[in-house]
Structure 1
């Protein structure tokens, strides 16, 4: 009794620390699980609220539930099969321990944990990987036939675009499950002593007979049967993968292109059948081995299978390709090239391209542009890649507003005539805010204001743009009913909007442009339906977690009337509500029925269109302007359609998707997956339709494909003797390819000019013009989307853009005009885009030239000269008309109708003598300004321009 009493106190101190450690461990686990659950719940709930607020809850729930189902599929198949086979291995353990010490006993006491932890780990990995294939599963489940069969297996194209990726994923899951199950079972068998890998003398202290038996049988009979069956199942799945690989050849890279070539058809496809057959035979051997316990037979089978795979799938086809196919490639590959050409042209939508030979004249004569008189006035002189700083300086209003570096080209009906315009949205630039407090960033500077637009073909006498819409509030010929920009390309931060009842507004609306005293600010409270209500404190806590910002809980400006606006850029919003789309890199700001909206082009793409050549989407859509815009993802594609036109309202952030290419099977597939999310094209208003353009990224991809696939002759395609490529940008040297340009041009043989996207092409590794490509870009015209090509004559060389740019700069008249901006003074010349137009029976190049102050922060480009070249004739003038008349012997035959007003308003001619005197003085000021600009004196230039404007304004006041 006394002995028991003495020993009891000694055990308690040891038990208490152990109990405390266990409690702390439990607390730590519970806290970790709670934090992870809160993070997950915050992310899921806020996403659900966002999708519900924008009207796309169905998209979120469909993808969430589908992803959850796939996650469970990966978890159960991989993790479950691993756990099952580890449990089976445990049950098949030897009756007598054959391992060192009491290792098996320890493992058996913790067998549930020992099986669950590794199985759960690999299951979670597999489930996460499988859940990432949600789009693959949804596309397969809702697949739509293309109505086109591949030429080798006779299967509909939809099998390759929808079914093949899904089957490949299932096979990969199966292989992962078998391999991990085999590995897990082997480890358990080894731990339980069913597999012997150490020296028999160590494992077994028994006699020589026992050692001999262990040298003969490294596996127990039950372990051998278990592992053999698993290996057999793995080989069957591998055989299925090999058989599936036969179809994969049509979407794999061959020696010449993407798709099946001669070697794939005759050797590689057969090789996959052979390997599949060998795999099944070896699988049978493993099944037999479960009874015979002779590892040598299936082992030899495995070795033979690996050797056969190497020979049949690797070495043999490579040898046949090198010594049999390549020497006779033009003949043996001809039918395969024909199929590849046809598939590629169809997949990229260039199969209906019209190619015409064009014998461009190079001689210039008087009146030569008479037939193009309607198109010449539409030539765009304002370069959207140059005049961004001009918009910035003249229309920025305050330092916290900004415009993009590269502006956009749009069309508006002005005074009854469709007019090309250069447009940009005036957005909030957070970098320009002096006090970057939380309140300023998220509650005060919440939105931009107004669309700024200028004529594309007109300028003021000063060289500044002729405005169509300007200032805050917006004035001009483009009426705006709602110009506030809560959702825009620069809206990278979330905003909290909504004022307390009775409280004063806090959102800055019109700085210096409101009612009341000059310079007074006007503030506003957002009353739109955009964003998510954060009236619930729990929701606010979730958003504080989502954005890692405690101010959402602490600030008094976040209250029961508040809404939070986030994910505000147009491209991101479209990508979120339609994750099956690739979005164009350029969102167009435009006014539709008086509201400022963003028009975004959406593409359906695939990398599995059979026998169509693949390109990298980012590389194919890149040019010299790509650095100023969001790039496309770097991923392979071999099918693309502009299937959707999306509209994002700049005020409430609503996203409306319109089905554009209704024949696209991929679009129809996703319409079935997310019914009701894409609206019919017929619901687009006439005003919206007038602003729809042919998307630039698609056209850039198509022009790259057309560079080689404009021909349908397999011999020409193979010899590569008629390959075109986009030239390097002749203006932004070293920054990439010349971008396509939106222009209103008259196509040779037609009567009326049409708005088109155009691109010049040069022969491969050459600089002369090889072809001129255009695509109809006016959605109200019947030729929208129709690609046309003028192929230059091979007998007469026509200079390409870079040769023309060099010739213009080298011209003595041009160089003398630009000399004051190159050698002295504080101003410099900036070359604008070199436009190519098929007029006068030849090719006319037009290049605006801008003057800009070289130093200081207030300089901006203004249009100073216009240079043109036709054939070998170069002209330069203060106006396009002057330059054209120089080239065409004093009379181009067309009037450019350029606006040279000194004010951005067109006034009625003054009638009073005082008005005439004021205008005479204004003209003198303009002349002085022009002289100062030529000498590089920008200070005097700006002073004279200001004086001239003041005089013109006074003259306008005298008009009766």
Structure 2
């Protein structure tokens, strides 16, 4: 009968144990095994174990430390009282036995009670460290940068690496100290109450213990006040004029923080004397210090005092009063966004551009003007080159290759796999995971082409046709930007004619990427991991098959290095052996002192920051999936800390293969962020910054900003060699005329070497001659009779006329404007390049080729030789 009654309990216990084992296996051991095998397939198993070691070593050490703190104080408090009973108890057997029994409860029973309590409290307190263990990792492996901030003179690394840890530790230790003090005080009171015939006063040892605990609380509160000083560096109360602390913060609030520290210490000392030492129980010092402390705490909350200071001291002389603080903001922001070394070149505009056309209008130079925008040519790629329903061109990248005697700018796009386009009846498990496993090849076309001519191709079709010798041994693309599902290759299926043009082609995958399946045991684990039993029961999976997972390159890199922020625009590079994806990765922080914050989503969610470095260049093998991280900014203290922690993960940029290193480029996302900041912070004196008379904005046309675009061009800097640069035109705020053209390059214009040396040059125009912006050029274009008549004629047919992105380039002592015109059919909407509009000085022409347009302009300038107006034509405000 007794056995029957215990049966439900046994069954319940068994179910609980089975549930715990299932959860432990599925969410801990299974993920651990698969992740380990995946890291091993990437030859990064050392990095995998190192991450685990750091994570659990730091988390375990913190938990153990807090456990020791809690248990030590509980043990001291529980074992102190009861050791020396009063004299009247010593001679009374009954009382002594009762005394000893209660004392034993506190003394010998404490381990059983306080051990689990200490462990639970330690885990709860340490939870923030479990989620922020990498923050602590930077603390242990970080080092000084050698650059100090202008306010407190601290090394920048203190804010980027150490300050976040100090904030976390101070909050946790203060909470722990308060909790322990409260619990130990209660425990002493309980012991004192329960043990009979104790003296009225607490023993000296208990007072010392509580005094020490109170001292810890005081110390951590003072530390919090000290850290509060650094919070002033991120005040935004002076926005939109400037960011960071000003006169009020550093001349009023900062002294109050120091006063709070002094009065709080005085209050704590006098309170301790008053509570624990009755002989010194004098109320006056305590009351005076407490009153002073409360007053100091309340003063910052009283708004009229800062208002009076602002009204009568700052506002009458704002620039004079706030000058050093505005300068701090300017210097910090320029440094945090790497804008301090921008080269500025003042350009004198000569509207008679005959000499500039003669010098710059060579075939080599205008062959690289990108009249095919990637936003337009993607439609042509999709309609002409996807070929099979399961292939897809996701996006077009811009790059440059040395072909046909010089460096030429090209558009390139990967032909990736997209199984969503398969017929519904073909979307079965075998097709999706064993047959249709990868994309194939790419298309490449020159960015500069003549209008009204067939599309020129450098690489095309599934047989990888190239008239200029481009080829690759392994055109298969198993890893890319699409949302790939898992694939298992090679396998026993006879896969015919899916990738290439030969229907009999059935070559199996022969790379090294992916996790080897190897055994039935692994098949079973993969089936459980991927929630797909077909993996285990499929007879088409061979012993040499490999499981390919995490095939989206952004997801893949983020899983390997979650501390990096990724550029939203990976780009494809073709080599003789295979395709590679190149990605720019950033380290960011929101703790840089006095620097103006901004935000970006980086494709991984919106994040606010005020410091950014393009610290890492990432290379992903599109065939095997291997990932390599190369440090591009070794002076960045954040990436140096990670490099110290994970020495096997990162490589030197010089170790990157030369055929990949030649395709490094200035990141578009970074340059956009930098120019957003520089638009205001190029005014680098407090007087100019306060006036904001020279603030810029991105040039606008048709209510859209002209964002940075790539251009391959010889700027005459390095022995007639072309540079692959980012161009960014800007106008004054709320105006359309051009203020500057920013050029971001990757080579050192002084040494003219091939090493990656990113730099920015700003070509700034004087105010004596107005330089028209893209919106004004478009409006002036409509005023040219020949062009407006042609637009009217095109609009009468069943066609859509599209004006492409305007290319704006500094060209000698003038500015070149090139705008492609596309015509697309209403039915298929595939654009055709039909004309290019070219404008220089005060002349605008339209032609089928840029060479023809240059020749027309040359003739116009020769015809109009003589005195010319120094003012470019303008249009009235709209």
TM-score, L = length of structure 1: 0.77
Residue 132 of structure 1 is matched in structure 2 by: 131
CA distance in 1, matches of 2:683, 2:188: 63
Aligned residue for 2:413, secondary structure, equals strand
Residue 144 of structure 1 is matched in structure 2 by: 143
Residue 754 of structure 1 is matched in structure 2 by: 723
CA distance in 2, matches of 1:459, 1:521: 39
2:539 corresponds, among 547, 556, 562, to 556
Residue 342 of structure 1 is matched in structure 2 by: 331
Contact 1:884–1:892, Cα closer than 8 Å, also in 2: no
CA distance in 2, matches of 1:647, 1:73: 36
1:530 corresponds, among 497, 506, 513, to 513
Note the C-alpha offset of 1:189: 9.4
CA distance in 1, matches of 2:514, 2:166: 40
Note the C-alpha offset of 1:274: 2.1
CA distance in 2, matches of 1:806, 1:557: 64
CA distance in 2, matches of 1:24, 1:87: 39
CA distance in 1, matches of 2:755, 2:650: 23
Structure 1 residues 547 and 153: alpha-carbon distance in aligned structure 2, compared to 1, 3 A threshold? same
Note the C-alpha offset of 1:268: 2.8
Residue 868 of structure 2 is matched in structure 1 by: none
CA distance in 2, matches of 1:361, 1:679: 48
Aligned residue for 2:805, secondary structure, equals coil
Residue 581 of structure 1 is matched in structure 2 by: 564
Residue deviations 1:545-583 (CA, integer Å, cap 9, x gap): 433333333333444322111122333333333344322
Contact 2:238–2:244, Cα closer than 8 Å, also in 1: no
1:454 maps to 2:445: yes
Residue 164 of structure 2 is matched in structure 1 by: 165
Residue 925 of structure 1 is matched in structure 2 by: none
1:776 maps to 2:745: yes
Residue 261 of structure 1 is matched in structure 2 by: 246
CA distance in 2, matches of 1:289, 1:367: 87
Note the C-alpha offset of 1:488: 0.9
Give the alignment of 1:860-879 within 5 angstroms: 860-879=830-849
2:341 corresponds, among 352, 371, 376, to 352
Contact 2:583–2:619, Cα closer than 8 Å, also in 1: yes
Moved more, 34-43 or 62-71: 62-71
1:240 corresponds, among 223, 233, 237, to 223
1:417 maps to 2:373: no
Residue 707 of structure 1 is matched in structure 2 by: 679
Structure 1 residues 414 and 30: alpha-carbon distance in aligned structure 2, compared to 1, 3 A threshold? same
Note the C-alpha offset of 1:421: 0.5
Residue 439 of structure 1 is matched in structure 2 by: 430
Moved more, 364-373 or 289-298: 289-298
TM-score, L = length of structure 2: 0.84
CA distance in 2, matches of 1:658, 1:742: 23
Residue 766 of structure 1 is matched in structure 2 by: 735
1:281 maps to 2:273: no
Residue 3 of structure 1 is matched in structure 2 by: none
Aligned residue for 1:797, secondary structure, equals coil
1:472 corresponds, among 453, 462, 479, to 462
2:10 corresponds, among 23, 26, 29, to 23
Q: Where in structure 2 are there 5+ consecutive unaligned residues?
A: 86-94, 96-104, 194-199, 864-878
Structure 1 residues 433 and 367: alpha-carbon distance in aligned structure 2, compared to 1, 3 A threshold? same
Residue 767 of structure 2 is matched in structure 1 by: 794
Give the alignment of 1:618-629 within 5 angstroms: 618=601
CA distance in 2, matches of 1:644, 1:367: 39
CA distance in 2, matches of 1:451, 1:116: 64
Note the C-alpha offset of 1:762: 1.2
CA distance in 1, matches of 2:788, 2:531: 58
CA distance in 2, matches of 1:223, 1:22: 47
Contact 1:885–1:891, Cα closer than 8 Å, also in 2: no
* TM-align CA RMSD: 3.9
Note the C-alpha offset of 1:285: 4.7
CA distance in 1, matches of 2:732, 2:192: 71
Residue 404 of structure 1 is matched in structure 2 by: 394
Structure 1 residues 176 and 498: alpha-carbon distance in aligned structure 2, compared to 1, 3 A threshold? farther
Q: Where in structure 1 are there 5+ consecutive unaligned residues?
A: 1-11, 97-105, 196-215, 515-519, 619-629, 894-960
Aligned residue for 2:462, secondary structure, equals coil
Note the C-alpha offset of 1:136: 1.9
1:55 corresponds, among 14, 30, 43, to 43
Residue 835 of structure 1 is matched in structure 2 by: 807
Structure 1 residues 87 and 706: alpha-carbon distance in aligned structure 2, compared to 1, 3 A threshold? same
Residue deviations 1:609-661 (CA, integer Å, cap 9, x gap): 3333332244xxxxxxxxxxx63643233332223222111111112222323
Aligned residue for 2:447, secondary structure, equals strand
Residue deviations 1:909-943 (CA, integer Å, cap 9, x gap): xxxxxxxxxxxxxxxxxxxxxxxxxxxxxxxxxxx
Give the alignment of 1:384-783 within 5 angstroms: 384-405=374-395, 407-434=396-423, 435-459=426-450, 461-462=452-453, 464-476=454-466, 477=468, 478-499=470-491, 503-506=492-495, 509-510=498-499, 513-514=501-502, 520=503, 522-618=505-601, 631=603, 633-728=605-700, 730=701, 733=703, 737-747=705-715, 752=720, 753-777=722-746, 781=754
Equivalent pairs, count: 821
Note the C-alpha offset of 1:881: 3.4
CA distance in 2, matches of 1:115, 1:655: 49
Structure 1 residues 114 and 876: alpha-carbon distance in aligned structure 2, compared to 1, 3 A threshold? farther
Residue 211 of structure 1 is matched in structure 2 by: none
Residue deviations 1:81-116 (CA, integer Å, cap 9, x gap): 5677778888899999xxxxxxxxx999x9999977
Residue 621 of structure 1 is matched in structure 2 by: none
Residue deviations 1:21-77 (CA, integer Å, cap 9, x gap): 533442243123212211111222222222222122233222222221232244345
Residue 28 of structure 2 is matched in structure 1 by: 40
Structure 1 residues 557 and 844: alpha-carbon distance in aligned structure 2, compared to 1, 3 A threshold? same
CA distance in 1, matches of 2:821, 2:333: 40
Aligned residue for 1:281, secondary structure, equals helix
CA distance in 2, matches of 1:883, 1:186: 89
Moved more, 874-883 or 45-54: 874-883
Residue deviations 1:657-706 (CA, integer Å, cap 9, x gap): 22323343433332221113322333233322221111112211221221
Aligned residue for 1:482, secondary structure, equals coil
Moved more, 831-840 or 316-325: 316-325
CA distance in 2, matches of 1:635, 1:453: 35
